[in-house]
């Protein structure tokens, strides 16, 4: 029986259960369904095992019963076929029809498996060579007859070659590689179908490839291939003169470091040769190389963003810290005196200037080195003015960022202390253990930068010890036993603060002077927060002036053309109370109401923190200016509210009065709380503190916030303490005061608007209020 008459198909079904007869049909892609009977099956086949989808070999002939129909004879299992030439020819015909080899095609897979098995068992090398020659010719014919771009088709051919002829696989792979595009060859190489790395192609595409593809390429490459790829890329980059090329270089060097570590230093050196100095600075700043050329790099600091300028100065300090360079303090601070405005480089850069936070930190370092002391108010004010002058020089346009930051340790919360002492039988202390506990929820409200001042004797300058015999710092008039300021290691160089700069640069400074400057920075930042228009967010300009100022000038306005607030005067100044560190902003403040005069023309703005406004001394000073400088008549009051013992409301400007507590009403409410603490849904929790005073947490429940606040106001007025009274919260803590009489004196109420000033909960505010209003609180002292 000739090979050409043999076919391979799938059993569609076999055995008619209804008739209990063994016959069925074979399915073939071209011939259709062919009938076959058990008599058509070759001898030696297990008839009972014929089932659906079994792969069989058969011969086709015309049906004897049904004219025009075909039937199968000589049927046998594929496993029983041993004719390699027939199987191979059939496989190639299927491969041509299907267009590719697939493991999921049942017949392809079965025939492929059978051929592989026969070739492995065959000792006839001649037949193997003949089949290989046929396959090689087939591959060459397929590739040359049409332009092959189907990656999966080629992979199928190569899978077949690898399965049938593993010893001759490279010849087929070479044939494929020579006749396809370099892009297709790269894809086949990447999946290990061919061995030749397409170096030129990879070099031209590697920087735009995904990270996953990059990793796959270099994991597949030999060390020699990697070296060739990287140097090819390097030569294609050539002169590095644009930001786009710099970006490519950074990506390139990251790949080199990750995948060509042995050659990385050589690649890096060649890359750096092609970079201009200002790009070398950028690469150094981002840790691509470690060569610090400070004298050159400092010329280009203005090309960096404010964030990177800070990083540059800190990284230079890191090198000093690690003794990699011997840059002096004078060299470092020379950044501040360079004429960036007229430098050749600055001509090409919009708004070239040194970041003013960096400028300020360098000036503060210089000042602390030369400063003898900062003890008097005049000396502190002078230092404050110098800081403000530095800011004035830096602010040139509305888009400038108004904050001094990046070089300071932020407050992490005040630190308390607990002391455990061990004593012997004689009562002598044999061991003492001090534990520090930082409370992140107990931070100074207006001091984001840690500026706590160490408690020292004014006479001896020695540290003052607390009752626990431990050193402490004053943090906004409260004790803190360990400031948040700390020294950092060189591995944490990006966290370097002013304290690190002074220490590493070996500046002989006074801790008290450092604390003063940190306080000044906090104060300046608080003021800067107000220096923008709340409508358009652009910077405010001094009214009638051409330059910014933070003292001397206190009237500002927006100049943005299309802003609805353009030209509207805004009063900005520091609070005139020397014991208050807040700012006065006319947008948030009201004027006091002098008796017999109009508030709009004669009233002074009331500080929202300490309620300070006018004093007789300040009014007399203003009258003198009118008389001697302005040469006009002064038409306002001369006796200030401070001297009259009047505290003005910061909500409406009217005088505030002492709270009229009703002890009977207080006791009635307290008794209700105690009686209903376990019954009422309004009372969330309750208990007694260590002074045996009751406390309760009260729910808002179904009340509106306005209704809830009215109830809280009543509780407050009759004498209860409510620490979060000023905040709208659904759960409020209410407690008995420690000293009812003293507490009652510390609560003032505005009869006009109902505003309450409670000095019992906030020591910082109480100190500021009572120091300014010393006539009202003449008999009191505040720690």
HEC readout, 127-186 = HHHHHHHHHHHHHHHHHHHCCCCCHHHHHHHHHHHHHHCHHHHHHHHHHHHHCCCHHHHH
To the nearest whole percent, how much of the chain has pLDDT over 70? 88
Residue 314: name the closest of 372, 355, 261 by CA.
355
Model pLDDT, residue 388: 63
pLDDT class for 638, splitting at 50, 70, 90? very high
* 662 has a pLDDT exceeding 80: no
To the nearest whole percent, how much of the chain has pLDDT over 90? 40
The answer to whether 386 touches 406, Cβ cutoff 8 Å, is no
β-bridge pairing 55-62 and 415-423? unpaired
The separation between the first and the last C-alpha atoms of the chain, rounded to the nearest angstrom, is 118
Tell me yes or no: is domain 3-81 CATH 2.40.50.140.
yes
Q: Is the Cα torsion angle 81, 85, 89, 94 positive or negative in sign?
A: positive
Domain with CATH 2.40.50.140 in the chain: 3-81
Model pLDDT, residue 549: 41
Q: How many angstroms separate the Cα of 703 from the Cα of each of 184, 195, 697?
A: 73, 79, 15
How many angstroms separate the CA atoms of 767 and 578, rounded? Answer: 11
Rounded average pLDDT over 547-572: 78
pLDDT class for 279, splitting at 50, 70, 90? very high
Residue 452: name the closest of 487, 424, 412, 490 by CA.
412
Q: What angle do CA 321, 325, 328 make, to 5 degrees?
A: 85
Which structure tokens are listed for 669?
Answer: 């409410």
Phi and psi based region of residue 704 (left: phi greater than 0; alpha: psi -120 to 50; beta: remaining): beta
Contacts of 194 (CB under 8 A, 6+ apart): 158, 173, 174, 176, 177, 185, 188
Model pLDDT, residue 767: 87
Model pLDDT, residue 647: 95
pLDDT class for 616, splitting at 50, 70, 90? very high
How many angstroms separate the CA atoms of 698 and 676, rounded? Answer: 12
pLDDT digits (tens, 9 = 90+) for 397-453: 545 546 788 899 999 999 999 999 888 888 888 899 999 999 998 888 778 999 999
DSSP 8-state code for residue 539: B
- Cβ-in-10-Å burial (0-12, 13-18, 19+) of 415 comes to buried
How many angstroms separate the CA atoms of 565 and 559, rounded? Answer: 9
Rounded average pLDDT over 293-318: 90
Rounded average pLDDT over 653-674: 87
* 340 has a pLDDT exceeding 60: no
Rounded average pLDDT over 19-43: 86
Range scoring the smallest mean pLDDT among 103-107, 453-457, 694-698:
103-107
Statement: the pTM of the whole predicted model exceeds 0.85: no
| Three-class secondary structure of residue 716 per DSSP | helix
pLDDT class for 676, splitting at 50, 70, 90? very high
Contacts of 673 (CB under 8 A, 6+ apart): 683, 686, 694, 696, 734
pLDDT digits (tens, 9 = 90+) for 698-728: 999 999 999 998 898 888 888 888 888 878 8
- Residues present in the chain in total: 783
- Cβ-in-10-Å burial (0-12, 13-18, 19+) of 53 comes to exposed
Residue 83: name the closest of 22, 5, 177, 10 by CA.
5
The answer to whether 106 touches 53, Cβ cutoff 8 Å, is yes
How many angstroms separate the CA atoms of 715 and 723, rounded? Answer: 12
Alpha carbon 649 to chain centroid, angstroms? 42
In the sheet with 747-749, reading across from the earlier edge strand, the strands are 657-658, 747-749, 756-758
Contacts of 525 (CB under 8 A, 6+ apart): 403, 404, 405, 448, 449
List helix spans (H) across 344-398: 356-370, 377-394
Mean pLDDT of the chain: 85
């Amino acid at each position: 029986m000739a090979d050409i008459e043999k076919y391979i198909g799938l059993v569609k079904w076999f055995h008619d259960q209804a008739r209990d007869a063994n016959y069925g049909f074979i399915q073939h892609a071209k011939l259709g369904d062919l009938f076959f009977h058990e008599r058509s099956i070759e001898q030696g086949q297990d008839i009972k095992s014929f089932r659906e989808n079994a792969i069989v070999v058969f011969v086709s002939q015309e049906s004897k019963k049904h004219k025009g129909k075909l039937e199968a004879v000589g049927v046998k299992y594929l496993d029983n076929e041993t004719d390699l030439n027939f199987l191979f020819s059939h496989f190639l015909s299927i491969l041509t029809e299907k267009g590719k080899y697939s493991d999921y095609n049942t017949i392809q897979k079965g025939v492929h498996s059978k051929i592989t098995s026969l070739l492995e068992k065959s000792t006839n090398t001649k037949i193997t060579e003949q089949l290989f020659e046929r396959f090689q010719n087939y591959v060459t014919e397929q590739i040359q007859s049409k332009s092959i771009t189907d990656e999966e088709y080629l992979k199928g051919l190569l899978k077949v070659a690898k399965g049938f002829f593993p010893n001759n696989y490279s010849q087929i792979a070479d044939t494929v590689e020579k006749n396809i595009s370099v892009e297709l060859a790269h894809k086949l190489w990447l999946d290990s179908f061919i061995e030749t790395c397409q170096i030129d192609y990879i070099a031209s595409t590697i920087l735009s490839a995904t990270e996953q593809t990059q990793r796959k390429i270099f994991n597949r490459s030999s060390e020699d291939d990697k070296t060739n790829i990287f140097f090819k890329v390097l030569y294609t980059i050539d002169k590095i003169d644009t930001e786009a090329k710099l970006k490519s270089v950074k990506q390139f060097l990251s790949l080199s470091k990750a995948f060509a570590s042995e050659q990385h230093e050589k690649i890096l050196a060649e890359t750096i040769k092609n970079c201009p100095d200002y790009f070398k600075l950028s690469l150094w700043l981002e840790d691509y190389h470690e060569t610090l050329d400070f004298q050159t790099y400092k010329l280009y600091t203005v090309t960096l963003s404010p964030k990177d300028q800070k990083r540059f100065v800190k990284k230079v300090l890191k090198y000093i810290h690690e003794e990699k360079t011997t840059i002096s303090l004078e060299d470092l601070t020379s950044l501040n005196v360079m004429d960036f405005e007229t430098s050749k480089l600055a001509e090409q850069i919009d708004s070239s200037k040194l970041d003013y936070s960096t400028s300020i930190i360098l000036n503060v370092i210089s000042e602390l080195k030369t400063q003898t002391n900062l003890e008097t108010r005049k000396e502190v004010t002078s230092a404050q003015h110098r800081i403000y002058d530095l800011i004035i020089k830096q602010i040139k346009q509305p888009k400038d960022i108004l904050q001094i930051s990046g070089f300071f340790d932020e407050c992490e919360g005040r630190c308390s202390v607990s002391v455990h002492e061990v004593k012997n039988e004689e009562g002598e202390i044999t061991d003492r253990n001090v534990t520090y506990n930082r409370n992140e929820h107990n931070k100074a409200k207006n001091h984001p930068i840690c500026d706590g001042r160490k408690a020292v004797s004014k006479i001896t300058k020695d540290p003052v010890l607390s009752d626990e015999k431990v050193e402490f710092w004053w943090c906004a008039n409260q004790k803190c036993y360990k400031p948040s300021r700390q020294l950092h290691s060189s591995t944490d160089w990006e966290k370097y603060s002013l304290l690190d700069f002074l220490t590493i640069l070996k500046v002989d400074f006074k801790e008290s002077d450092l604390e003063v400057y940190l306080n000044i920075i906090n104060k300046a930042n608080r003021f800067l927060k107000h220096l923008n228009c709340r409508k358009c967010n652009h910077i405010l300009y001094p009214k009638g002036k051409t330059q910014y100022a933070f003292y001397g000038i206190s009237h500002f306005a927006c100049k943005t053309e299309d802003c609805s607030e353009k030209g509207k005067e805004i009063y900005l100044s520091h609070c005139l109370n020397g014991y208050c560190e807040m700012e006065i902003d006319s947008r948030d403040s009201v004027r006091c109401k002098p008796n017999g005069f109009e508030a709009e023309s004669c009233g002074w703005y009331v500080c929202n923190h300490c309620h300070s406004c006018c004093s007789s001394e300040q009014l007399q000073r203003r009258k003198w200016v009118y008389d001697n400088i302005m040469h006009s008549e002064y038409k306002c009051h001369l006796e200030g509210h401070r001297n009259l013992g009047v505290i003005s409301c910061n909500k409406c400007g009217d005088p505030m009065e002492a709270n009229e507590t009703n002890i009977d009403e207080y006791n009635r409410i307290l008794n209700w709380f105690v009686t209903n603490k376990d019954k009422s849904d309004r009372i969330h929790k309750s208990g007694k503190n260590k002074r045996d005073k009751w406390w309760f947490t009260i729910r808002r429940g179904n009340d509106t916030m306005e209704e809830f606040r009215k109830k809280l106001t009543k509780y407050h007025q009759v004498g209860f303490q409510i620490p979060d009274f000023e905040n709208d919260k659904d759960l409020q803590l209410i407690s008995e005061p420690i000293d009812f009489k003293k507490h009652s004196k510390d609560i003032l109420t505005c009869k006009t608007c109902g505003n309450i000033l409670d000095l019992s909960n906030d020591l910082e505010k109480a100190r500021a209020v009572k120091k300014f209003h010393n006539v009202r609180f003449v008999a009191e002292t505040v720690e």
